[in-house]
Amino acid sequence: MTYVVTSNRRAELAISILASLTTFAVSPLNTLDPVNLPKFWVLSCGAFGLLGLILNGWKNVIRNKNLLVAVLAFNFFAIVSTSISDAPLEQMIFGTYGRNTGLITYFCFSIVLIAAANFASASIKKTIVTSMVVTFSVNTFYGIIQLMDLDPFTWANPYTPIIGTLGNPNFMSALLGMGCGLAFAYMFAAHATLRIRIASLTYVLLACVNIWKSQSQQGFLLVALTFAICVYYFLKFGFKKRIVSLIYLAMCIIGGTGVILGMLQKGPFSGIIYKPSVTYRGDYWRAAIASIKDHPLFGLGPDSFGDWYRYYRTLEATTRRGPTAVSDAVHNVFLDIGSTTGLLSMLAYLFIIAVALISALKQLRLEKSFDPFLIAILSIWIAYLAQSIISINNIGLGIWGWVLPGLIISREAWHKTEILNSRNARTKNRKSLDFSSLFLTIGMVVGGTVGFIPFNADASFRHALESANPQSIYSIANKWPEDTSRLLYAVQVFDNNEIYDKATQLARKTTEINPRSYNAWFYLYGSPSVTGNEKREILDRLKALDPHNPDLKKLG
Q: Which residues contact 110 (CB under 8 A, 6 or more apart)?
A: 71, 74, 75, 402
Give the closest residue to 76 by CA, choosing from 305, 297, 292: 297
pLDDT of residue 484: 95
Give the closest residue to 548 by CA, choosing from 360, 289, 287: 287
pLDDT of residue 154: 85
pLDDT of residue 75: 97
CA 482 to chain centroid, in Å, comes to 23
* Residue 481: φ, ψ to 5°: -75, 130
Q: CB pairs under 8 A, 24+ apart, for 412-415?
A: 412/359, 412/362, 412/363, 413/63, 414/121, 414/122
> Is the preceding peptide bond at 515 cis, omega within 30 degrees of 0?
no
| 121: DSSP letter | -
pLDDT of residue 217: 86
Give the closest residue to 372 by CA, choosing from 380, 362, 383, 361: 380
> Is the preceding peptide bond at 547 cis, omega within 30 degrees of 0?
no
Give the closest residue to 177 by CA, choosing from 380, 3, 367, 18: 380
What value does the mean pLDDT take over residues 218-225?
94
Instruction: Report d(CA 319, CA 302) in Å as an integer.
Output: 28
Q: Which residues contact 124 (CB under 8 A, 6 or more apart)?
A: 12, 15, 16, 407, 410
Q: Give the model confidence (pLDDT) of 317-375 as tens digits.
A: 999 999 999 999 999 999 999 999 999 999 999 999 999 999 999 999 999 899 999 99
pLDDT of residue 65: 85
CA Rg value for the chain: 25
pLDDT of residue 417: 53
Please count the CA atoms within 13 angstroms of the CA of 369 that sit on its side-chain side.
6
Identify the burial level of 468 via C-beta atoms within 10 angstroms of its C-beta, where 0-12 means exposed, 13-18 middle and 19 or more buried.
exposed
What string of DSSP letters covers 515-528? TT-HHHHHHHHH-T
Residue 2 pLDDT level (bands cut at 50, 70, 90): very low
Task: Please answer whether residues 384 and 178 qualify as being in contact, where contact means their C-beta atoms are separated by less than 8 angstroms.
Answer: yes
Q: Give the model confidence (pLDDT) of 375-404 as tens digits.
A: 999 999 999 999 999 998 899 999 999 999
Task: Please answer whether residues 49 and 440 qualify as being in contact, where contact means their C-beta atoms are separated by less than 8 angstroms.
Answer: yes
Give the closest residue to 250 by CA, choosing from 232, 267, 277: 232
Instruction: Report d(CA 400, CA 135) in Å as an integer.
Output: 11
User: Does residue 425 carry a pLDDT above 60?
Assistant: no
Give the closest residue to 175 by CA, choosing from 223, 215, 127, 212: 223
Three-state DSSP class for residue 546: coil
Question: What global pTM score does this model have?
Answer: 0.93
Identify the burial level of 250 via C-beta atoms within 10 angstroms of its C-beta, where 0-12 means exposed, 13-18 middle and 19 or more buried.
exposed
